[in-house]
């Protein structure tokens, strides 16, 4: 499937992609724009309730929910929404009453400065930079001791605006700032909205065709073209970053292989770019053995990847629970959709924030491996905060690293 092909579904598709973006309002169940197409959910037909009780439980409950929706008269149901990092936490998944689809978003002036989405902001970091550096030191001690081989440690930036934050303006700014990525907004309980612009595809499924695109290893870009190219080449040559990336790509391929009759895994990573960061990237393609395997089954087999948790998963997750001082919620989970025949698309929930009234909570993480340093990992999370703030049209209230 080409990157410009619209989503292959029979949903209501009378509107253009830009109209769907313009029609999104705070409280709308779901908006999702990817290189394949654009979706806007309006109204809730039914919900997928409760957390997973055992591995593999969520795809089965989603399949039952979709079957019941079809039985009740829904002509072409699809589940949309977000799944958290912690599998014991309930997902936010609904069957939309109406799901509008269109082609890929495009903008006449993609590099125009974003309009402000918030007023003057007070800021608080959780944890504070010094505490985050201590957490990285703890992780490096454990890695030197033999396990885990990698762990992803995160921090948050909590902003309070003197005016209400515009969810619609934030989403528009992020979608325009990240046209090659995955822009999303998901309505959460309690009047909150999960909003973001992820660069990373977890997995997509169309018929028998499967695509995953793990990213790991990154470097800040430069406004100077010569320096920017130097940074890109240094990232591609970095033994530390290539090792970090290989851990992720190998784990994704290993998780997909049991479902596929063939799988193409490039031997070397490539570079992709956003407006502010270079990333090491591996695009993995395959063909399913069983057509009925759903995109959510594949996504659940992959989640969480070492790119957002670490490796081995159990040891990394335990260390995250010990070191991180906040609840990740939907950060480093997955966001996307799955229809009644199993087709769908799921992005990794990074470069994201939760919005509620005057409050905005941003998240950023960095992968810690042998050779990492506390200062560099702090700087990486700071660069990711600045990426989000720039894309959202929010003035930096504090230095982020």
Q: What is the pLDDT of residues 282-291, one digit of tens each?
A: 999 999 999 9
Tell me if the bond preceding 16 is cis, omega within 30° of 0. no
Alpha carbon distance 89, 172 (integer Å)? 29
Q: By the 8 A CB rule, do 98 and 43 touch?
A: yes
Nearest to 170 by CA among 352, 381, 382: 352
Residue 258 is classified by DSSP as G
Reported confidence tier of residue 68, pLDDT bands at 50, 70, 90? very high
Which of 186, 167, 149, 134 minimizes the C-alpha distance to 322? 134
Reply yes or no on whether the pLDDT at 6 is more than 70.
Answer: no
CB 30 within 8 A of CB 187: yes
Helix ranges, 326-393 (H): 374-392
What is d(CA 170, CA 173) in angstroms, rounded to the nearest whole number?
A: 5
- Looking at residue 31, what is its pLDDT? 97
23: tokens are 């029609």
What integer is the mean pLDDT of 328-332?
Answer: 96
Looking at residue 51, its pLDDT comes to 64
Is residue 387 pLDDT above 90, yes or no? no
Strand, coil or helix: 237: helix
Just list the catalytic residues: 150, 200
**Nearest to 277, CA basis, from 311, 241, 308:** 241
Residue 140 vs residues 143, 179, 382: alpha-carbon distances, Å: 5, 36, 20
Helix axes 239-256 and 295-302, enclosed angle (nearest 10): 140
Residue 94 φ then ψ, to 5°: -135, 155
**107-117 as b/e: b if 16+ CB within 10 A:** eeeeeeebebb
CA angle 56, 60, 63 (to 5 degrees): 145
Does 52 score more than 70 pLDDT? no
Dist. CA 35–CA 180, nearest whole Å: 6
Whether residue 59 contacts residue 300, with contact meaning beta carbons closer than 8 Å, is answered with yes
Residue linked to tokens 């992005």? 347
**pLDDT, tens digit (0-9, with 9 covering 90-100), for 158-203:** 999 999 999 999 999 999 888 889 999 999 999 999 999 999 999 9
Average pLDDT score, the chain? 90
pLDDT band at 4 (very low <50, low <70, confident <90, very high): very low
Local structure of residue 116 (DSSP, 8 states): P
């Amino acid at each position: 499937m080409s990157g410009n092909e619209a989503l292959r579904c029979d949903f209501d598709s009378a509107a253009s992609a830009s109209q769907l973006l313009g029609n999104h309002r705070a409280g709308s169940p779901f908006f999702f724009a990817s290189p394949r197409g654009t979706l806007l959910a309006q109204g809730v037909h039914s919900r997928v309730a409760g957390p997973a009780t055992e591995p593999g439980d969520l795809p089965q409950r989603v399949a039952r929910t979709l079957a019941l929706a079809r039985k009740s008269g829904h002509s072409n149901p699809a589940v949309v929404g977000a799944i958290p990092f912690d599998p014991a936490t309930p997902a936010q998944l609904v069957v939309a009453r109406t799901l509008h689809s269109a082609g890929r978003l495009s903008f006449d002036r993609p590099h125009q400065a974003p309009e402000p989405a918030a007023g003057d902001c007070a800021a608080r970091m959780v944890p504070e930079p010094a505490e985050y550096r201590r957490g990285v030191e703890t992780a490096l001690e454990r890695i030197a001791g033999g396990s885990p081989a990698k762990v992803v440690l995160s921090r948050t930036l909590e902003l309070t605006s003197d005016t209400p934050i515009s969810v619609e303006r934030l989403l528009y700014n992020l979608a325009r700032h990240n046209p090659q990525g995955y822009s999303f907004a998901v309505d959460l309980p309690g009047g909150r909205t999960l909003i973001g612009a992820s660069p990373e595809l977890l997995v997509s499924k169309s018929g028998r065709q499967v695509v995953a695109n793990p990213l790991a290893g990154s470097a800040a870009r430069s406004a100077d073209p010569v320096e920017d190219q130097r940074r890109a080449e240094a990232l591609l040559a970095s033994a530390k970053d290539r090792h970090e990336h290989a851990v992720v790509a190998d784990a994704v391929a290993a998780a997909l292989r049991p479902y596929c009759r063939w799988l193409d895994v490039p031997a070397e990573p490539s570079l992709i770019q956003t407006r502010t960061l270079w990333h090491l990237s591996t695009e993995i393609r395959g063909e399913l053995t069983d057509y009925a395997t759903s995109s959510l089954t594949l996504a659940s087999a992959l989640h969480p990847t070492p790119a957002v948790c670490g490796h081995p998963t159990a040891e990394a997750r335990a260390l995250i629970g010990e070191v991180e001082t906040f609840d990740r919620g939907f950060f480093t989970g997955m966001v996307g959709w799955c229809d009644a025949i199993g087709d769908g698309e799921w992005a990794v929930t990074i470069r994201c924030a939760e919005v509620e009234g005057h409050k905005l909570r941003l998240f950023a993480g960095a992968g810690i491996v042998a050779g990492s340093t506390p200062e560099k990992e702090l700087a990486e999370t700071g660069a990711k905060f600045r990426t989000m703030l720039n894309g959202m049209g929010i003035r930096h209230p504090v230095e982020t690293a």
